[in-house]
């Protein structure tokens, strides 16, 4: 068999091993987007049983920090023109809601039905700026939980109250919190909706409102632009390095030079370091220290086989591969492990 063909077969074996290694639990999307730090969010808002009886609905939203905790506050006011009705408060307010006299809230834990799936589709297809990042999080769609029902009465025509929530946090496994968002939904006509959230340095507030299936929707995203740009840059750079490492290895095999073992090995080890991120997976400390190290040792042996005259691995190659693997391990510790401790 032609030596180049044999070399490409050996390299193909390496590629198969490379992609198989990413199937271990040590490599997963959950490393980059941890499930326990990206809890499923719920819509905020108020849903009326008879929205035609509501007029002059005004909402003011503010996101602020209190005791190192981010909170979103909605100040709501409206006029009730019906006889008897109900409103439901969406989501899970984090503090008591003080209502006007004669309005007594009732605990009632339900999941509301309706066209909320269309609202989610509109948010994650068009309206949220970071929609592509949110989709990497399992159960990224907003839920329609409601635990509070408030009876409405014609004896209380003017209603004012405030609701306090925790905004939904979006957390990257290596960068920490990169954004927070809140989505207000109501089925009544909104006369005025104001955002009074302060714009901080390096933080961008993206708000948008739209109508969907009879619901008014107003979303806000508080985005750490520096971290978002860093994630995008690192992902792009990783993909470029991975593709170049493959192309370099293929070119070196084609040139078929005996002195190409070191550059071939370097390209193969770069492929190991970048393949998981190329597949949009993160690597755990165990994966970096053990699985990458084992794969690196096998890559070293295969690089000797490819660049030898008879495609054979000699006894001394096993010892030299240990040295290369230790260097590879040290580089991984410096580049990937140590930065995680800060």
> Is-contact 250 267, C-beta < 8 A?
no
Selection from 91, 268, 82, 278 nearest residue 167 by Cα: 91
Mean pLDDT of the chain: 92
Selection from 41, 46, 42, 76 nearest residue 61 by Cα: 76
For 84-111, write each residue's pLDDT tens digit: 899 999 999 998 888 888 888 999 899 9
Q: Label the pairing between strands 44-48 and 176-186.
A: parallel
pLDDT of 265 reads 96
pLDDT of 138 reads 73
In this prediction the pTM is: 0.85
For 289-302, write each residue's pLDDT tens digit: 999 999 999 999 99
> Is-contact 207 195, C-beta < 8 A?
yes
Judged against a pLDDT cut of 80, whether residue 269 lies above it is answered with: yes
How much is the average pLDDT of 277-297? 96
How much is the average pLDDT of 267-276? 97
Residue 128: both structure tokens together:
């949220």
How much is the average pLDDT of 148-164? 93
pLDDT of 310 reads 81
Q: What confidence tier does 114 reach under pLDDT thresholds 50, 70, 90?
A: confident
Cα dihedral 92→97→102→104 (10° resolution): 30
Judged against a pLDDT cut of 90, whether residue 144 lies above it is answered with: yes
Q: What confidence tier does 1 reach under pLDDT thresholds 50, 70, 90?
A: low
Judged against a pLDDT cut of 90, whether residue 336 lies above it is answered with: yes
What CA–CA distance (Å, rounded) separates 330 from 323?
11
Residue 316 neighbours by CB under 8 Å, 6+ apart: none
Between CA 201 and CA 111, with CA 91 as vertex, the angle to 5 degrees is 145
Provide the phi-psi class of 11: left if phi over 0, else alpha when psi is between -120 and 50, else beta.
Answer: alpha
Of the two residues 202 and 89, the one the predictor is more confident about is: 89
pLDDT of 100 reads 84
For 125-134, write each residue's pLDDT tens digit: 999 999 988 8
Q: What confidence tier does 211 reach under pLDDT thresholds 50, 70, 90?
A: very high
pLDDT of 258 reads 66
DSSP 3-state of 177: strand
């Amino acid at each position: 068999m032609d030596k180049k063909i044999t070399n490409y077969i050996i390299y193909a074996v390496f590629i198969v091993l490379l992609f198989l290694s990413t199937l271990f639990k040590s490599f997963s999307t959950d490393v980059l987007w941890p499930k326990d730090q990206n809890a499923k969010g719920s819509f905020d808002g108020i849903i009326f049983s008879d929205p035609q009886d509501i007029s002059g609905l005004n909402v003011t939203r503010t996101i602020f920090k209190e005791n190192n905790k981010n909170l979103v506050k909605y100040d709501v006011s409206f006029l009730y023109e019906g006889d008897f009705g109900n409103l439901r408060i969406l989501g899970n307010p984090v503090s008591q809601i003080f209502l006007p006299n004669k309005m007594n809230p009732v605990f009632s834990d339900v999941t509301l039905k309706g066209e909320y799936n269309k609202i989610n589709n509109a948010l994650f297809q068009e309206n949220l700026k970071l929609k592509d990042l949110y989709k990497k999080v399992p159960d990224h769609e907003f839920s329609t939980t409601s635990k509070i029902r408030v009876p409405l009465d014609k004896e209380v025509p003017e209603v004012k109250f405030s609701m306090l929530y925790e905004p939904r946090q979006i957390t990257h496994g290596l960068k920490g919190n990169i954004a927070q968002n809140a989505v207000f939904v109501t089925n009544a006509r909104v006369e005025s909706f104001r955002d009074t959230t302060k714009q901080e340095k390096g933080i961008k507030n993206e708000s948008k409102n739209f109508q969907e299936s009879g619901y008014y929707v107003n979303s806000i995203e508080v985005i750490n632009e520096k971290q978002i740009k860093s994630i995008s840059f690192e992902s792009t750079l990783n993909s470029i390095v991975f593709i170049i490492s493959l192309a370099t290895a293929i070119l070196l095999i084609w040139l078929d030079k005996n002195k190409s073992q070191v550059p071939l090995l370097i390209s193969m080890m770069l492929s190991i370091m970048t393949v998981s991120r190329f597949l949009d997976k993160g690597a755990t400390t165990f994966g970096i220290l053990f699985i990458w190290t084992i794969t690196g040792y096998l890559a070293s042996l295969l690089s000797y086989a490819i660049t030898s005259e008879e495609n054979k691995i000699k006894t001394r190659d096993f010892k030299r591969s240990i040295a290369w693997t230790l260097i590879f391990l040290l580089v991984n510790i410096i580049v990937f492990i140590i930065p995680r401790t800060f």
